[in-house]
Structure 1
């Protein structure tokens, strides 16, 4: 009987190993992206935000929301960018936790702490980037993004679990 369990684990291992590599590389790429944005000088960062602002305003106008497009500001775009970057990081942190341990729910504080530490380092990098500033409120916003990403990953994992459990019953 244990031979059957062993061979099942052996069959699953390549998928687990692939998941570990994939999610770890994606997470590292996300963190490098976040830090590289913080290393940009203020003028370059402002230009990037301005291009995204113009794009979003154009989309809103095409969708028939010119007043909303007018209210969208560079400040809002920058804060949304922070939140979205860290939502992705939280999502990837939780997926990494899932492929490295079976008891990922008990270890939810690890991805949360990892995200907060990334936010702290990110804001510290901005202190040394010309034309940039560091803000405690951004650490809070980034941490909220990490939490949103973790929750999104948990919901996705629960749905996948229900789907695969249902498929295995049939």
Structure 2
């Protein structure tokens, strides 16, 4: 294998590992810190997008904004993880089907491990719904990658 390709493969796997570390890092926050952090972020996003009036008029959305944001972040984190894993697997010349399966295995395994890990963090509880949301994010990424490869 040429040196440049080795560097690319290495960098691709470092990105996968880095994303897993980021995911587990978020899970390492205790429950109160995690909720506080996400509330701060979601309120800044709402202000930045000038959506304060929209949310004020929709009481249900306003009350659940942090919950919805947290679930959207679950989806997004695992979407990114699956994209990175699919990319790394394609660098080692796996075909589209195998790369899809292994990217899903990496993402879904990480989701399960992440939820089990949260059992050890004060104020955190594992939730099967989160594993499903995480898996849906990974599946969306794999489907998009597969679709794009079909077009190439």
**Interval of TM-score (by shorter of Structure 1 and Structure 2):** 0.7 to 0.9
Deviation at 1:108, TM superposition (A): 1.9
Quote the RMSD (CA, aligned, Å): 2.0
Deviation at 1:101, TM superposition (A): 1.8
Deviation at 1:54, TM superposition (A): 0.8
TM-score, length-scaled by structure 2: 0.86
Match of 1:6 in 2: none
The answer to whether the aligner puts 1:147 opposite 2:139 as a matched pair is yes
Greater Rg over alpha carbons, structure: 1
Q: May I ask how many residue pairs the two structures share in their alignment?
A: 147
SS at match of 2:96: coil
Counterpart-to-counterpart distance in 2, 1:54 and 1:27: 29
The answer to whether the aligner puts 1:42 opposite 2:6 as a matched pair is no
Match of 2:116 in 1: 124
Match of 1:27 in 2: 16
Match of 2:45 in 1: 56
Counterpart-to-counterpart distance in 2, 1:102 and 1:116: 19
Closer, same or farther in 2 for the Cα pair 1:65/1:152, shift >3 Å?
farther
SS at match of 1:106: helix
Match of 1:113 in 2: 105
Among candidates 71, 81, 90, match of residue 98 of structure 1: 90
Gaps of 5+ in 2: none
CA deviation vs aligned residue, 1:67-118 (integer Å, no higher than 9, x gap): 1476251101110111110000010010011001242333421111111100
TM-score, length-scaled by structure 1: 0.78
Counterpart-to-counterpart distance in 1, 2:149 and 2:37: 34
Question: Is the Cα contact below 8 Å between 2:76 and 2:137 reproduced in 1?
Answer: yes
